């Protein structure tokens, strides 16, 4: 089980900020495919992953990264701080 977090419009499209996910995916992309297969709202949120960023255990990563040992995955749009 891993914690999956969503922020900004990703959170709005999916309709929740955080959930526990049982996954057999090896990579972030694999997890995204599993989520997209669930429901239309996930399909809508992950329609264009080039518009998204991913963090693994609170470090920026990429969609090819392996999930082995990861406890927390977060998906969000490009950041707009400052």
Which residues are near another protein by CB under 8 A? 5, 7-9, 55, 58-60, 74, 76-82
Q: Which two tokens stand for residue 25?
A: 């995916």
Toward another protein, which CB reaches closer, 24 or 78? 78
Toward another protein, which CB reaches closer, 21 or 55? 55
Question: In the bound complex, what is the minimum distance in angstroms from residue 69's beta carbon to another protein?
Answer: 18
Question: In the bound complex, what is the minimum distance in angstroms from residue 41's beta carbon to another protein?
Answer: 17
Spatial CA neighbour of 10 closest among 49, 39, 38? 49
14 within 8 A of 41, measured Cβ to Cβ:
yes
Distance separating alpha carbons of residues 4 and 29, to the nearest angstrom:
13
Distance separating alpha carbons of residues 46 and 56, to the nearest angstrom:
17
Question: In the bound complex, what is the minimum distance in angstroms from residue 37's beta carbon to another protein?
Answer: 26
């Amino acid at each position: 089980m891993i914690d999956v977090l969503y922020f900004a419009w990703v959170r709005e499209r999916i309709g929740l900020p955080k959930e526990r996910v049982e996954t057999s995916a090896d990579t972030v992309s694999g997890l995204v495919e599993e989520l997209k297969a669930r429901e239309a709202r996930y399909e809508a949120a992950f329609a264009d992953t080039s518009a998204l960023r991913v963090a693994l255990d609170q470090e920026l990563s990429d969609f090819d990264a392996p999930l082995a040992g990861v406890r927390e995955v977060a998906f969000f749009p490009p950041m707009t701080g400052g």
